[in-house]
Every structure is written in C-alpha cells, then in structure tokens.
Structure 1
Amino acid sequence: MQELKYFQHYPENLQAQIRQLISTNQLQSYFKHKYPTGHQLQNQQLLYQYSTEIKQHFLKNTPRLNSVSFNKHTDMVKGTLGTHTQQQKIHGKKLKARYDIALNNQLKYAPEAILRALIVHELAHFKHAEHNKAFYKLCCHIEPDYHQLELDLRLFIVLDEQGLNFYK
C-alpha cells in the first residue's frame, strides 16, 4: 500500500481515492480539468496587493500587512508551504509591529485557487496562532471551499514532487 504522507489524517476511504488517483496517473489530468491555468501573480507587488485585498475585506481590524513574497528558502517537501511572522519592536514609547508572509517559491507555478487557500491560511494565523476550530472556522469564512482547496493543495505537492507540474 502506497504511503500518503500528506494525507495521513484523512479518512481511509478518501486515502483510497487519492491512492487510485496517483497510481493510475490521473493526478495531472485532475488538475488540468479542475484548474486549467496557473495564477498571474508572478511578482511581489501583485502578490502583496492580492493578499492585502483579502485581508482588508475579511480582517479589517488586524494590523497592516508589511510584505508578502515567494521565498525559495521555504521547503515544500518538509511541509513548509508558507510562513507568517509577527515581529514587535519598542521604538521609544511606541510598540511597532511587522507582519510578513512568505510562500514557497514553487507556488509561483500553481492554480490561483490553491495559492488563495494558502494565503487565507497564513492570514488566519494573524488572528489565531493554533490550528484549532476557531482557526478553521475563520479560514472557511474567508474561503468557503477552504477544506477542498487544502486537500487540492496537498495533491498539488504530490503533483510537483512527481515532476508533473504543468503550470511552469
């Protein structure tokens, strides 16, 4: 039986469907059918603008987002698809905060919906540090199809690992 390292917490019947999709070489056609094109957010300015629009619409009362970028140092194989950082510094009598998001560089070549799911995930961490019920509720509020997109994001990792990423 094929090990599914990104799907271990999913129900066995879903894991069986995923195994079949991978073993019958249907993963690429699944993505071509469901997500025929990649996103067009290829530079940091467009990515920042896109992320800020989501944040402004759903998380108005959170601090300003300083930067969003693709980062070649995050490792998709180790499971680090994106990171969020919050730095706070005292400057005189004021507390200054900096909020950044760095996404795996391989996500430059992904469908827009997959990229959006990861941005939503990282933005949700600005309100909820832990992956708990409130965190996932916020993710689903921002992106109603979040759970399906998270599954597809995991499938995208497998697609990329197998060298079948046709969005490049």
Structure 2
Amino acid sequence: MTVLKYLQAYPQTLQDQVRHLIERDQLGAYLSDRYPAKHAVQSDKALYAYALELKQEFLRNAPSFDKVLFDNRLDLTHRALGLHTTISRVQGAKLKSKKELRVASLFKDAAPEFLNMIVVHELAHLKESDHNKAFYKLCEYMQPGYHQLEFDLRVYLTWRDLQGKT
C-alpha cells in the first residue's frame, strides 16, 4: 500500500481514492484535467505585485510587507511551501522590523490556483499568526474553496513525489 505522507490527516476514504488513481496511473491526468493552466508569475517582482494586489483587495488594514519572493531554499523536506517572517534590525536608536513573504520555487511551475492558495495562506498570517479557526475562515474568505485547494495541492505534491520531482 502506498504511503501518502501529505494526506495522512485526511479520512481513509479520500486516501483510498487517491491510491486508486495512483494504481491506475491516472493521478497526473486527474490533476491536469482539474488544473490545466500555468500561471504567468515567474519573477519576484511579479510575485510581489500579485501578493500586493491580493492584500489590497482583502486585507487593507493588515500590516504591509516589505518583500515577497520565490525561495529556492524552501522545500518539502522542511515542510514549508511558504513562509512569513518578521526581521528586526537596529538602525541607529530605532528598531525597524520588516515583514517578508517567501513562496517555494516549485510554485513557479504550478497551477495558478495553487500559487493563489499559498499566497493567500501567507497573507492570512499578517492578521492571524496561528493556524486556528479564524485563520482558516480568513483563508476561505480570500479564496473560496480554500480547503479543497489545500487537499488538491497535497495530491499534487504526492504526484510530484511519485514523478521524482522533489
């Protein structure tokens, strides 16, 4: 039986459906039928503009961010697809803090829905630091169908592992 490390928290019936697709070698076809497009956001500058547009639409009163970038160092071995960080630096007599959003580089080649889901997730951390009910409610507000996209992203990561694209 195939171990589905990204789907372990989901009900056994869903895991069995994914295993069935794997056994019939149809997981890639399922994903490409469901998510056929690729996004055009390929540079850090474009990612910054993309994140800023989402923030302006949904989180006008949230703290702003200073940097958004694709990060080659973020990967699945560190269990991070995106990060939000606050970096504090001393400048003279003042303490300045800058907020950064980092998105794993694997999303350069992913479906636009997956990129949107990750950016929404990281933006939601500007208002809610913990993964609690309010956090997921905010994610669902910014991206209707967020939970389904999160599941499908986990299926996509499973497919990538099967293809040897870690």
Give the whole-Å Cα distance in 2 for the aligned partners of 1:121 and 1:36: 22
Give the whole-Å Cα distance in 1 for the aligned partners of 2:35 and 2:164: 14
Give the whole-Å Cα distance in 2 for the aligned partners of 1:5 and 1:137: 25
State the Cα deviation string for residues 71-126 of structure 1 (Å, max 9, x = none): 11011244211111012345467553311111111111100001100111111111
Root mean square deviation of aligned Cα: 1.8
Instruction: Please tell me whether the aligned partners of residues 28 and 164 of structure 1 are also in contact (alpha carbons under 8 angstroms).
Output: no
Compute the displacement of 1:29 (Å): 0.6
Listed as ranges, the gaps of 5+ residues in structure 1 are none
TM-score normalised by length of structure 2: 0.91
Compute the displacement of 1:164 (Å): 7.6
Match of 2:61 in 1: 61
Match of 2:11 in 1: 11
Match of 1:21 in 2: 21
Give the whole-Å Cα distance in 2 for the aligned partners of 1:64 and 1:159: 35
Superposed counterparts of 1:44-83, under 5 Å: 44-83=44-83
State the Cα deviation string for residues 106-150 of structure 1 (Å, max 9, x = none): 111100001100111111111111111111011001001100110
Instruction: Please tell me whether the aligned partners of residues 4 and 158 of structure 2 are also in contact (alpha carbons under 8 angstroms).
Output: no
Name the stretch that deviates more: 70-79 or 40-49. 70-79
- Amino acid corresponding to residue 46 of structure 1 in structure 2: A
Q: Between the two proteins, what is the percent identity of the paired residues?
A: 42
